[in-house]
A and B are shown apart, each in its own frame.
Chain A
Amino acid sequence: MTPTLSAERVHTPPLIPEMLEEYGAITRKALQNYLPSGAPRRHLYDLVSDYPQRGGKMMRSSLCLATAGAFGGRREDALCSAVAIELLHNALLIHDDIEDESEERRGRPTLHLLHGIPLALNAGDTLSLLSLRPLMDNARHIGSRLAMRILQETERVAWESAEGQAMELGWRRDNCNGLHDADYLTMVLKKTCWLAIIHPSRVGALIGTRGGIDPEPFIRFGFFLGAAFQIQDDLLNLVADRRYGKELNGDIWEGKRTLMLNHTYREASAEERRRLTEFLALSRERRTVEEVRWIRRLMDTYDSVDYARRIAHGLAGAALHEYESIYGGLPDSRDKQFIRGMVTWVFERI
């Protein structure tokens, strides 16, 4: 079967939001049991509960549950791992927001803006530790051997995410410009794809097959889907829509080396590059709205937004190809349809 993706005409089946809602609710309910409710609430546990209670798409946990189901596993066997994934994701969001100096998260001020950096950092650390609890509880549900295997997978995703984040932060600190698309994709593979797609898929498949599967093919599938997801996320940052939950042009304000910014830089004239370099060397508070708007216009001038969109569509097509090689032989099921539908969903989500 040849995978095709005509991105301008893709329509996500209604199954995707339905299952995100269904699996998200199951995971949220289980996650609540891991959020401490005692003291010290004001300075710790209220902060720890803040991001998980703001909602979110629950994409990662849903993908874990769906992959386990697609491979014949039981949803309840994958639930602890799904909760651990969400807890770790929220922990990293707190730290990312501090490192990126972000101002909005899921439609509200970021945690460090509400409580200050020291308390927010501590809450992020606590959420990371909390993510270990459901992983330890895994032993009761799926046996100690598979639980240990999933713990090893979690250790790996933590390393990959840290390395990806270091790449991006390093580029910004050292004002690296003229980056190539391969640099960007390598960074995204580590920073985004592992936690967003690769890890939930691998863990779900290991649980579904009780450890009887080679998890390597999920790296390819997860990379292509995760990269398309991240590029689309970067594109959404450039359009004004309050439902997106992040500040408009926030990535430009933060000097993020997105595919669009890298492309604009490569296409720009010498004078424009000089101005861009000077802007990117400034700290966030010294950047002006006029300069941000100028960069946004420059992106339009060099068709950088359209360029990134096309790259994303190509990567999504490759994700469909890799999907077929992994899931093609499995019998049809809601879970299988959900995973395939996510490839088009990344372009329609807000």
Chain B
Amino acid sequence: MITHNSKSQARKRRHAPKPATSNKERLRRPDPARTGPIRNATTYLRDSRSWNDRTTDSTRAHTDRPAQDSPDTVDDVVTRGVKLGYKVIEDYLRQGQRSAERFREALQKGCSKEGKGEEAIDGLLRLYKDMNDLWIDAVGVILRSPPLLSWFNGTEQRNGAAAPSRGKVPGSINGAEGGLAIEIVSKRRTQVTLDLRPHPQRYIPLLYALHAPNPRIPPLTEMAFRLDKKTKGPILQIKIPDRQPAALYTGVVIDKHTHEPRGMLSVRVLP
């Protein structure tokens, strides 16, 4: 793809015939149906005849570039740029995947039978250390999230500690009172993580949907914050359809009235 130019190569090229003056029959595109340039990204996957008639930029040597008497239209250049961009990024991602696979294979091959005992001990030590880190992280999340902190302090409050008196809004959350329970209705194995920001005011939390990274996977939509009739505390109920694909679904908890984000909910549906 890269041409190294030396002086001798330059001399050779000086005597070579220019592509634009070739005797070959001129290539002509069919007249486009449109009446003006289309300057948007909607055409980037278009499979027009003009595309099929030519090679892509990355495979084309500079000597067979389009003749100067048939210049690219605006639309062609935009489309080519987008198509080329997708080719570059997909090649790059595939290369990364291949490297990761090779790396994993090398790791697996490197696990000799003799070393398995030591590795198991190392693994246990790492697991212990990771669990320790996770615990510290969990405490950090709780300390930064007053609704959860108040849930942890719930016993104290039930034992008579006075909660600050504020305007009661059914199903509302603030940083001072009421524990938050999570109820999952699912036959699938799931992991749920709720991270709420501390907020001085009461608000009614709202969730629209949880999306998977792959846009083709349908989102989780059956979830709601409501007030538990027994405990009078807020409860988050999540229903997961039986056929929901295994994936990590994430969504933002927002304030029902202001639509400002208040936190994040993620649900990992396990295979």
Contact = CB atoms under 8 A, between A and B. Distances in A.
Interface stretch (B23-31, B40-48, B228-236): B40-48
A30 B56 CA distance: 47
Interface string B62-75: 10010010011010
Interface string B32-51: 00000001111010000000
Count chain B CB atoms within 10 A of each CB in A2, A6, A277 and give the residue with the most: A277
Contacts of B65: 266-267
A224 B85 contact: yes
B171 interface: no
B67 to A, nearest CB: 11
A209 B14 contact: no
Given A145-B134, A209-B266, A310-B74, A175 B84 contact: no
B264 A71 contact: yes
Interface string B127-160: 0001001101100110010000000000000000
A299 B87 CA distance: 26
A317 B83 CA distance: 11
A158 B3 CA distance: 28
Nearest to B137: A143
B16 A174 contact: no
A277 B5 contact: yes
B5 to A, nearest CB: 5
Given A6-B40, A219-B93, A189 B88 contact: yes
A117 interface: no
A325 B41 CA distance: 14
B77 A5 contact: no
B58 interface: yes
Most A-side CB within 10 Å, residue of B144, B259, B262: B144
Given A72-B262, A318-B86, A143 B140 contact: yes
Name, among A2, A70, A180, the residue most crowded by chain B CB atoms within 10 Å (CB to CB): A180
A285 interface: no
Contact of B259 (A189, A269, A331): A331
A330 to B, nearest CB: 6
A208 B264 contact: yes
Nearest to B193: A212
A203 to B, nearest CB: 15
Contacts, number: 215
Interface string B108-124: 00000000000000000
B197 A74 contact: yes
By size class, the interface of chain B is: 35 or more
A318 B82 CA distance: 7
B41 A5 contact: yes
B252 A330 contact: yes
B134 to A, nearest CB: 6
A174 B264 contact: no
Nearest to A316: B41
Contacts of B87: 182
A204 interface: no
Interface string A125-169: 000000000000000001111101000000000000000000000
B254 interface: yes
A329 B219 contact: yes
B133 A143 contact: yes
Contact of A332 (B56, B144, B209, B259): B259
A285 B42 CA distance: 46
A42 B93 CA distance: 45
B248 interface: yes
A270 to B, nearest CB: 5
Given A210-B193, A212-B193, A213-B248, A144 B3 contact: no
Nearest to A324: B215
A180 B88 contact: no
Contacts of B62: 178, 180, 265-266
A182 to B, nearest CB: 4
A290 interface: no
B244 to A, nearest CB: 16
Contacts of A317: 40-42, 44, 78, 82
A122 interface: no
B197 A271 contact: no
Contacts of A183: 1-2, 58
Nearest to A227: B85
Top 4 A-B pairs ranked by shortest CB distance?
A317-B41, A143-B137, A311-B81, A182-B58
Interface of A: 2-8, 69-74, 142-146, 148, 171, 174-183, 185-186, 189, 208-210, 212-214, 216-217, 219-220, 223-224, 227, 265-267, 269-271, 273-274, 277-278, 303, 307, 310-318, 320-321, 325, 328-333, 335
Given A145-B134, A320-B41, 14 more contacts: A2-B42, A72-B197, A72-B252, A72-B264, A74-B197, A145-B137, A212-B266, A223-B88, A224-B85, A270-B16, A274-B11, A314-B41, A317-B40, A321-B44
23 contacts: A70-B252, A71-B264, A74-B144, A175-B4, A178-B2, A182-B87, A183-B2, A183-B58, A213-B250, A214-B248, A216-B213, A217-B213, A223-B88, A223-B89, A267-B68, A311-B80, A312-B81, A314-B77, A314-B78, A314-B79, A317-B82, A321-B41, A331-B254
